[in-house]
Structure 1
Amino acid sequence: MSITVEAHPAARQAREAATAAAVTAGVTVIEEADREKLRDIESLLISIWGMSSHGAPIPFDILRSISHAGCNISAAYLPDGTLCGAAVAIVTPGDAASYSLIAGVAPGIADKGVGFALKQHQRAWSLDRGIETMTWTFDPLVSRNARFNLSKLGAHVDEYIRNFYGLMDDDINANDESDRLVAVWPLASETSIDCSEGLARDVDLPSSSRVLTYGPDGEAQLLEADGTLWCRAPQDIVALRAADPGQAARWRSTMRESFETAFDAGYQATGVTRTGWYRLTRPSEQH
């Protein structure tokens, strides 16, 4: 039995923005359901994250089941047909929310806008089905991803979960604890619409602030300025895990304390500077 869904009023704008993002990135993004192409997506995800003791990040059989269930698998292809990115999201029928399980882009093209095009495709796919919100988790120590999620897409964060997956032994996480921030992306908000059209929510560190805590490297890590908090992530946590696992672990503890304290006090993260500082504000004070 088919279920009739009504598109959100913002669906048309989302489709147009997704098309524009794909053109800018030089890719074609589609909803992928072909069985053999799903095997290619499994291989791509392995090439990005590597294998762990559990196998592929999302095995082919799970991808196949997700597709069969009517959930979203977005795939980006270069003009020659090469798969270069993929994103996977699930949704419970009747809910007004979707959950993004994974999104990744092939090594070497991370700055081409393919990831942005994939997320805009997911946004359009969701709004076409009346789904207004998408959530996912990400590592708070990876400032590049944080800026993409909060400043480029328009998501926000007010929840920190300790060791979400347990210890992770893939190539990127390198046996670190898997603390995660929970991104909430209101797909039809004014901010998300602006971001979808290339108007990123850029934020800059204030010229004057008060240091609250210092990071493991001895530099300021948490600042306060006019009621806004600024929390710094390490510049390259993946390299740091490989070079100095002890300091990487200290960064984990430092940021865990900073975020949990701020969220308990009613703050939420609403943007990230190009240099890796999260902006945390109270919703009543945002403008």
Structure 2
Amino acid sequence: MSLTLDAGPTALQAAESATAAASRAGVLVVDEHDRDRLRDVEALLIAIWGMSPHGAPIPFDLLRSISHAGCNVSAAYSQAGHLCGAAVGIVSPGGRSTYSLIAGVLPGTGDKGVGFALKQHQRAWSLARGIDTMTWTFDPLVSRNARFNLTKLGAHASEYARNFYGEMQDEINANDESDRLVAVWPLSSQRSTDAGLGIQAELELPPAHLAHVLEYGPDSLPVLLESEGTLWCRAPKDIVALRSSNPDAAAQWRVLLREIFESAFASGRRASGVTRGGWYRLAAAGQA
């Protein structure tokens, strides 16, 4: 594959945004190739997701091969030189899209901007190679990640993949089915550029008097609203804890949101952002 570096203005701006994001988070983000440090990346991913019957989330030998192939293993190091986050991406056929396999930060560092710095580094890495789109999948029930992906980064989703990996047995997914939303991140769009600069429009749920309740959730509270042609869908507050404490309720949430998203996407809508309270904005065709 050809991964020629491109010093165009968008790529340069993305590199500046990535550097600024890393500085704000107090980390150094690099493309990691060192064999021993790739072993540390494997250990970090295990610390985040745990081991499954299949082994590490991404084992060392695969990390080594991905790096050797010229694809991306991003690693974030604290000022003391400790590994605190990592992201891994490969390049799709044709070299027009990066597929982000995994991204995570050390437990306890989730609010420090390390994850954002990693994604901005991946964005800059991609644009420098003429790649203008990044895709990945994420659990639609984890509202915190959904907000990060769709609001803070500026990605969107219009594809719902049922049980994408089959039943997962790691510590986070707790034997639930692995439904996923497919995130599409247009790396050179104005929205993504603004997001890289820390400029983003915070979504707000419409006032109650303007919203019509269409459906209630397993907790007996509204889960689907309609307001002025836009649908709003709520994810549970903490699905990871719920999967552990009440697997049946977690499964009810999964089935309900599966139905809502598949129906919305079939009608041409897309998920274009998430509020702080965990409400997805499902915009109709033609809406921003």
Deviation at 1:2, TM superposition (A): 7.2
SS at match of 1:205: coil
Q: Which residue does 2:272 correspond to in 1?
A: 270
Deviation at 1:3, TM superposition (A): 5.8
Contact 2:166 2:177 in 1 (8 A): yes
Q: Deviations over 1:73-126 (max 9, x none)?
A: 100000111000000000046421110000000000100000000000000000
Structure 2, gaps ≥5 residues long: none
Looking at structure 2, the residues matched to 134 and 3 of structure 1 have their Cα atoms a distance apart, in angstroms, of 15
Deviation at 1:212, TM superposition (A): 0.8
User: Measured at CA, do residues 122 and 165 of structure 1 come closer, stay the same or move farther in structure 2, by a change above 3 Å?
Assistant: same
SS at match of 2:80: coil
Deviation at 1:282, TM superposition (A): 1.9
> Quick one: which amino acid aligns to residue 269 of structure 2?
Y
* Pair 1:239 & 2:251 matched: no
Contact 2:89 2:98 in 1 (8 A): yes
> Quick one: which amino acid aligns to residue 239 of structure 1?
A
SS at match of 2:17: helix
Q: Percent identity?
A: 68
Deviation at 1:211, TM superposition (A): 0.7
Looking at structure 1, the residues matched to 61 and 153 of structure 2 have their Cα atoms a distance apart, in angstroms, of 30
Contact 1:214 1:222 in 2 (8 A): yes
Q: Which residue does 1:253 correspond to in 2?
A: 255
SS at match of 2:286: helix
- What aligned pairs does 1:1-287 form with structure 2 within 5 A after superposition? 4-92=4-92, 94-207=94-207, 208-286=210-288
Contact 1:271 1:279 in 2 (8 A): yes
User: Measured at CA, do residues 263 and 2 of structure 1 come closer, stay the same or move farther in structure 2, by a change above 3 Å?
Assistant: closer
Cα RMSD after superposing both structures: 1.2
Contact 2:4 2:130 in 1 (8 A): no
Looking at structure 2, the residues matched to 213 and 120 of structure 1 have their Cα atoms a distance apart, in angstroms, of 37
> Quick one: which amino acid aligns to residue 104 of structure 1?
G
> For this pair of structures, how many residues does the alignment match?
286
Looking at structure 1, the residues matched to 133 and 269 of structure 2 have their Cα atoms a distance apart, in angstroms, of 20
Structure 1, gaps ≥5 residues long: none
> Quick one: which amino acid aligns to residue 286 of structure 2?
S
Looking at structure 2, the residues matched to 117 and 283 of structure 1 have their Cα atoms a distance apart, in angstroms, of 31
Looking at structure 2, the residues matched to 220 and 29 of structure 1 have their Cα atoms a distance apart, in angstroms, of 41
Looking at structure 1, the residues matched to 218 and 94 of structure 2 have their Cα atoms a distance apart, in angstroms, of 46
User: Measured at CA, do residues 237 and 4 of structure 1 come closer, stay the same or move farther in structure 2, by a change above 3 Å?
Assistant: closer
> Quick one: which amino acid aligns to residue 42 of structure 1?
E
Contact 1:8 1:130 in 2 (8 A): no
Looking at structure 2, the residues matched to 92 and 246 of structure 1 have their Cα atoms a distance apart, in angstroms, of 37
TM-score using structure 2 length: 0.97
Looking at structure 2, the residues matched to 94 and 8 of structure 1 have their Cα atoms a distance apart, in angstroms, of 20
